[in-house]
Amino acid sequence: MNTNITFSMIKPDAVRNNYIGKILTQMTEAGFMIKAMKLTELTVSQARAFYEVHKERPFYNDLVEFMTSGPVVALLLEKDNAIEDFRTLIGSTDPSKADKGTIREKYAESIQNNAVHGSDSDENAVIESDFFFSRLERV
Ligand code: ATP
Ligand code: MG
CA atoms within 13 A on the CB side of 38: 13
Angle at 114 between CA 91 and CA 53, to 5 degrees: 90
Query: Which residues neighbour ligand 2 (ion) by CB within 5 Å?
Result: 120
Please give the tally of structural domains in the chain: 1
Flag whether pLDDT at 80 surpasses 80. Answer: yes
Pick the residue whose CA is nearest to atom 5 on ligand 1. 93
* Stated pTM of the model: 0.97
Ligand 1 atom closest to Cα of residue 114:
20
- Residue having the nearest C-alpha atom to atom 20 of ligand 1: 112
Measured in Å, residue 93 CA sits from the centre of ligand 2 at: 8
Task: State the catalytic residues.
Answer: 117
* Contact call for residues 116 and 7 (beta carbons, < 8 A): no
Give the list of residues 6+ apart from residue 124 with CB closer than 8 angstroms, or none.
7
Output the domain CATH number for residue 92. 3.30.70.141
Domain that includes residue 125, residue range: 5-137
**Could you count the other beta carbons within 10 Å of the beta carbon of residue 107?**
23
Residues 56-72 have pLDDT tens digits of 999 999 999 999 999 99
